[in-house]
């Protein structure tokens, strides 16, 4: 497992990679003309949401459990495990984040689909790390894509929150935070965004 000290801010990541944050019009894929959820998938999402809620009620979940209970079923429902998609798992990255006087430690696990979609799952020890703490590293992953002139997308989650990122030609934008722990409709909305992105990166 790689070890990485993530101390840079989003502004520092922008400077390092020459990135600029774009307006809402740049990243319409997370809110415009999203595909509808069919009844069968809605039933599966309801089961997924209730299952996640049940296990999450017992305390914070480890990254591997979030991957098993939430991320993998969500990717399945969105069709991202089926042709033409190919998936590869990257090596986990251990992270250390300075948060004032406290040092927070955690881990980033990531999956890459079609070289254009990165799924980033964030795990923390004792304290829940915000999905935003993984954004600078996510921008670095997206910049490592072989096709940076094409739209590249990331989905960041710690289980409780889901955020989507789009990067193209050194411009990036971020979706709102989806909070599947709060309501089932939030999980459905995140799934619709994934389905929309799947249509684009095929």
Closest CA to 154 of 68, 202, 15, 143: 143
SS3 19: coil
Cα dist from 202 to 79, 86, 133, 151, whole Å: 11, 10, 29, 12
Cis check for the bond before 84: say yes or no (omega within 30 of 0).
Answer: yes
Closest CA to 120 of 105, 99, 135: 135
Taking all residues of the chain, what is their mean pLDDT, rounded to a whole number?
84
pLDDT (0 to 100) of residue 134:
82
Below-50 pLDDT ranges, the chain: 1-7, 126
pLDDT (0 to 100) of residue 190:
97
User: Burial of 161 by CB count in 10 Å (0-12 exposed, 13-18 middle, 19+ buried)?
Assistant: buried
């Amino acid at each position: 497992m790689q070890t990485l000290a993530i101390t840079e801010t989003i502004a520092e990541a922008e400077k390092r990679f020459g990135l600029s944050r774009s307006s809402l019009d740049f990243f319409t894929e997370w809110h415009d003309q999203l595909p509808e959820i069919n009844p069968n998938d809605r039933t599966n999402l309801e089961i997924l949401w209730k299952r996640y809620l049940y296990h999450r009620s017992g305390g914070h979940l480890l990254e591997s459990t979030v991957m098993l209970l939430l991320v993998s079923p969500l990717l399945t429902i969105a069709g991202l495990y089926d042709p033409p998609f190919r998936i590869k798992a990257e090596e986990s990255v251990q992270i250390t984040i300075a948060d004032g006087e406290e040092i927070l430690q955690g881990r980033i696990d990531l999956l890459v689909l079609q070289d254009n979609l990165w799924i980033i799952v964030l795990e923390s020890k004792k304290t829940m790390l915000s999905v935003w703490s993984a954004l600078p590293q996510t921008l670095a992953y997206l910049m490592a894509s072989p096709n940076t002139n094409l739209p590249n997308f990331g989905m960041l989650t710690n289980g409780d929150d889901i955020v989507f990122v789009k990067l193209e030609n050194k411009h990036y934008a971020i979706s709102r935070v989806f909070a599947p722990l709060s309501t089932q409709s939030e999980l459905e909305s995140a799934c619709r965004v994934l389905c929309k992105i799947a249509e684009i990166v095929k």
